[in-house]
Structures are given as structure tokens and as C-alpha cells.
Structure 1
Amino acid sequence: MNLKAVLLEQMDACYDEMSWFVPLNIAIDGLSAEQAAWKTGDSNSIWQIVNHLIFWNERYLNRFKGLPLSQEEVNNDDTFDCTNPNETNEEWQSSVLQLHRVMSDWAEAIKECDEVKFHSAAYKESDSPWSSVIANINIHNAYHIGQIVEIRKTLGVWDSKNGVN
């Protein structure tokens, strides 16, 4: 199995293929805006986590494609932002669609990419190759998917038939 195939397999496991853990599309499926916005204490809501995933996946995808970044310096806490506490189901579905788009675009970019790119440096200031960066993005996504499932369990809106008792 070549490097591209491994990265695609990881991406698919995180996004839409049931594997060792629940994929993102199942983790967020069927949530209402109210459920997605629910939070307790200082923890982030599912919606905030989705915003965070959109931000970082889109940012690295744009960098991977050689597109300009929207901003150079980023405060990670700001990437969890939900600016309007009264979001509607339409706005939640818009966020879900945006996340689906960026995840699909990532998979497509990897499929279309020349294998050589995976060995090239992802940053000017570092030798970290794109393969390592993409693998870490997948790990980051998996971490937050676990959080989403745990929040759903706490909220009482997780069906164990979707995986993870």
C-alpha cells in the first residue's frame, strides 16, 4: 500500500467509513441545532467542535492546494467560536454541509495529488512533510470525533447501534 492509499484510508475512517471508531458523518448525523449547541461548564459544544474542525481542515487544505490563508496568526480558542447563541436548524445544517464539503475536498485533493507532494515540506519554516501533516490532521479529527460521541452520550442522544456503547 502506498502513502496516498494509507492517507486516504485514514481520511475515510475519520469521515465516512465505519472502522475502528465511529466516523464523523455518523457522529453528527441527526442532531438538531439545540443538541449541537448544548454544552456544560467550560466544555465546547458539538457545534463549536464542528466549527473548529471546519477551520483547521479548510486552512490546511488551502495550504495544501497552495491557496492564500485567510489570516496568518490564529488563536486556537477562536476557532471554536459560535457567534450567535440562537442558531437555527438551518444554520446548523449549513455548518454540517460545510464540514462535509471540506472533508470531501480533502479526500479529492489527496486522490488527485502526485505522490511526490506527500514527501515535500508542508511549511517554509519546517521540514515536516505533507504526509506527516495530513496524518496528524486525521488524528486531530479522530480525537474530536470521540468528543462529539461522548457529548452525545452525556446528552442522551446517542444510539449505541451506531457504534461505541
Structure 2
Amino acid sequence: MMSYKSILIDQLTACYNDKSWFIPLAEILEDLTAEEAVIKNDNGQSIWSIVNHLIFWNEKWLERFKAGEFRLDHNIANDETFAVAQEQLNESGWKETLNRLENVFVSWRVVLEETEESKLTKQLPEYFDAPWWGVVSNLSIHNAYHVGQIMLLKKQIRV
């Protein structure tokens, strides 16, 4: 029988660097330039802005997971998580962003590998009484959704 831990590791890996049902994020981004990454769609989003959004939420939930308990921060404006700093808009800034993305996915894998299964079943009263495994699984669903967006944006850019 598979454990919550192994399923969550599989989900996060599939989103980032394991080609399974869809092309993983690392592969989609590997040949993308900074110039391409900032091209906006009709909604004003770019690949870079979506990547920043993914970094923000994966880092935020990783921080919460490591702490074990947390208070929801109702002051987070989700739209701000998509922001791209003007001073970062160059190849060096793009590479730094990609490194940060890789680091958070690697960190999640390491933390999950080291986590006791009992932590994953712990309920979070502060978060709709959801168990940790459910929260991390939903984070993976969130990641997969945005991986699809990024793939479509890349296809539009490279018509």
C-alpha cells in the first residue's frame, strides 16, 4: 500500500521534473529566455509572473509545513504573488528565478522524505480542519493547473 508521503512526493515530482501525464515544469522552462518569459497573455500574466506565483505559494506552504502550525495570513494579496520586479528583468534574474523554483521543489521533496507519516494525517484547525496530506495534495493540484497555463503560454509565444 502506498503511503501519503509517497503519493505526495510523486505528485510534486510529476509537476516539476518527472514526465508522466504531462510535460513537467522544469522541461517546459529549460529553453525559455527571459525575453520570452515576460510576454503577457490577454489576462496580463506572463510565464515569469506565474512562476513567481508558484514560488510564493510553494515557499509559503513549505514554511508552514516545517513550522507544523501556523496562522492564516489574511493580508496576502494573491495578485501581488504574480509580481515581477523590474530590476530582475534580465537573463540573470530569470536564471535566479528558475533556481528558486527548483530549490523549493527540491526542498519539498527532502522535507516530505524526512517526514513521519503521522504528521501528514495531522488535522489543521486553522485551515478548515484539513489534514496536512490534503493541503499538500491541493498544492500539487494548484501547481499542475499553473503548469498547464505555462505550457499554453509557451505554445502561444512560439507559434
Taking structure 2 as the reference length, what is the TM-score of the superposition?
0.91
Aligned to 1:143: 145
Aligned to 1:37: 38
Q: Distance in 2 between matches of 1:14 and 1:125?
A: 24
Conservation of the 8 A alpha-carbon contact between 1:33 and 1:88: yes
Q: Does 1:61 align with 2:65?
A: no
Q: Distance in 2 between matches of 1:53 and 1:123?
A: 25
Deviations 1:11-48 (A, max 9, x none): 11111100001111111111111000011332310000
Conservation of the 8 A alpha-carbon contact between 1:4 and 1:110: yes
Q: CA deviation at 1:123?
A: 4.9
Conservation of the 8 A alpha-carbon contact between 1:14 and 1:142: yes
Aligned to 2:84: 82
Q: Distance in 2 between matches of 1:68 and 1:4?
A: 19
How many correspondences in the alignment?
156
Secondary structure, counterpart of 1:126 in structure 2? coil
Q: Does 1:130 align with 2:132?
A: yes
Taking structure 1 as the reference length, what is the TM-score of the superposition?
0.88
Structure 2, unpaired ranges of 5+: none
Q: Compared with structure 1, are the counterparts of its residues 122 and 22 closer, same or farther at alpha carbon in structure 2 (3 Å cutoff)?
A: farther
Identity %: 39
Structure 1, unpaired ranges of 5+: 158-165
Q: CA deviation at 1:68?
A: 9.2
- The Cα RMSD (Å) is 1.9
Q: CA deviation at 1:86?
A: 6.9
- Find runs of 4+ consecutive structure 1 residues off by over 4 angstroms: none
Secondary structure, counterpart of 2:86 in structure 1? coil
